[in-house]
Amino acid sequence: MAHRTPHAGTSTRGFTIFEMVLGVFLVFALLLGVLIVITSEGSGTEKDYGVSPYRAMYAGYINNRLKEWTNAILSYQNMNGALPGDSSSSPFTNSSGGTIGDNNGRVEKDKEENVKFFRDLFDAGLASEPRVRVRNRVMDFYWADLSRNHTRGAAGNYFKLPCIHRDEALALDQKFDDGSRTSGSVLYFDNPDGTVDLFVLFSPF
């Protein structure tokens, strides 16, 4: 009767398919983690001016909302031949009983045209309510010559958002303007509580 002869060497157990797949997955996960860290910390613009991604995100939100309101203003202007608030085609009486709207291209606060501005948009169906909020701040819109505030800002009609977080204004200026708070189309001014009043020039183009 023949007997089987045992192998002379000792066999070693190789990697299973599961172990190899697991190893490849862990390597890819490690590389992906390193890539995310490098991207978020080394090449993001937020780090360049000390603004968190959270505040930078809201700066983008503010920019998008103001673009939407710019389009609404232009739609009103195309329909009525004048800016909302400044238009004489929609009668409105101020607190003194005078009629508002002189078609001079300026939404003038001292004439209360900035109050009529939002009413005109609302009555034209271009706003859902006669008071507009952005970042839960009541927006204003009026003509201003901000060079009087020791800036190089141009005189024009401005969106104004009061009491905005300073980092959001800074990020907005860095991302969408010249990076200087005293020039260009984005300007902001400090408040005692650490917030800023943000002014963005209305530009139809």
| 175 token code pair | 């991302």
Helices (H), 81-128: 113-123
- pLDDT at position 16, please? 79
- The beta-strand segments (E) located in 70-155 are 133-134, 137-138, 140-144
- Where along the chain do its domains lie? 53-201
Q: Mean pLDDT for each consecutive 10-residue tract of the chain (205 residues)?
A: 51 65 75 58 51 93 96 96 92 84 94 94 93 93 89 93 97 94 94 97 88
| 22 token code pair | 């697991």
- pLDDT at position 21, please? 72
- The beta-strand segments (E) located in 38-155 are 133-134, 137-138, 140-144
- pLDDT at position 44, please? 45
pLDDT tens track for 89-147: 877 888 888 889 999 999 999 999 999 999 999 999 999 988 899 999 999 999 999 98
Sign of the four-CA dihedral 178, 182, 187, 192:
positive
Nearest alpha-carbon partner for 115 in 98, 146, 180, 32: 98
The amino acid occupying position 196 is: V
Gap between the Cα atoms of 120 and 97, Å rounded = 18
Q: Cβ atoms within 10 A of the Cβ of 18, count?
A: 8
